[in-house]
Amino acid sequence: MSKIADKFMQLRSEGRKGFIPFVTAGDPDLDTSLEIALKLADLGADIIELGVPFSDPMADGPTIQRSSERSIRNGTTLNDVLDLARSFRVKSDIPLVLFSYFNPIHHLGLKEFRSMAARSGIDGLLLTDVIENEAAKISEVLEESSIDLISLIAPTTTDERLRDICSRAKGFIYAVSRAGVTGARESTSSTAKQLVDRARKFTDLPIGVGFGISTPTQIEEVWQYADAAVVGSAIVSVIEMNASNPVSAVETFVAGLVPERQATAAE
């Protein structure tokens, strides 16, 4: 059983729901990204997503696009992201998921990536741009090192495709709350719950909801029907707007997002 599956089993046994923050590795720089990831762990993150910067992030909105651009300007590579993960793993055992497009991994070589990711303590990989047949082959390779390929589903996913995706899914399923690209929104889409309900017909795996989650109210809403809430663009935006002290700014923002985690940590 993977570390991701173990984490969700723990959450279920404790009657809690998951909090999964996302940051783009290398934004504003690699050392600060490591500090932010470790701070997120201290703040009660259950799983952390590390974004691999990519020059053509077609599934991402302007906020994460700009973070990728900043990271790439700093020279961040996939190898650097894996080194960051290795440094994180020395200090924390919270599961790590890489959020990436396939091109950087293909360029490195899938089996080489698998070996390097396993040594770096990566527990899951979420790819935004592979279709079912490709995903099945990639999942088989990663499974040899107990790395889960996290599957994405969207409101536009048909029941037939949902069945296929759920049948080979590992770790947890990432439900996109609405059609379109990443980015914070003032309210969650009603289609998110409908999508989760549809997926439940085909899988017992945990389901996390992301894209547009940016407030405590939205997190609480998601926790009513899903197993985890993913917060990405809102955190990346805080980093962008507080270049002089991003770690402190992220701490303040996230402590307000999930205050019950801080209360638990203080007990």
Catalytic positions: 49, 60
CB 233 within 8 A of CB 17: no
Most distant CA pair in the chain: distance in Å?
A: 49
Cα separation, 83 vs 104, whole angstroms: 15
Token couple for 155:
């409101």
Q: Return the half-sphere exposure (C-beta side, CA atoms, 13 A cut-off) of residue 125.
A: 32
Tally of CB atoms within 10 A around 232: 28
Tally of CB atoms within 10 A around 157: 18
Cα separation, 128 vs 105, whole angstroms: 12
Token couple for 95:
């599961």
Across the strands, what pairs with 176?
Answer: 210
Cα separation, 16 vs 32, whole angstroms: 30
Give the alpha-carbon dihedral of 36, 2, 64, 59, to 10 degrees.
Answer: 180
Tally of CB atoms within 10 A around 261: 18
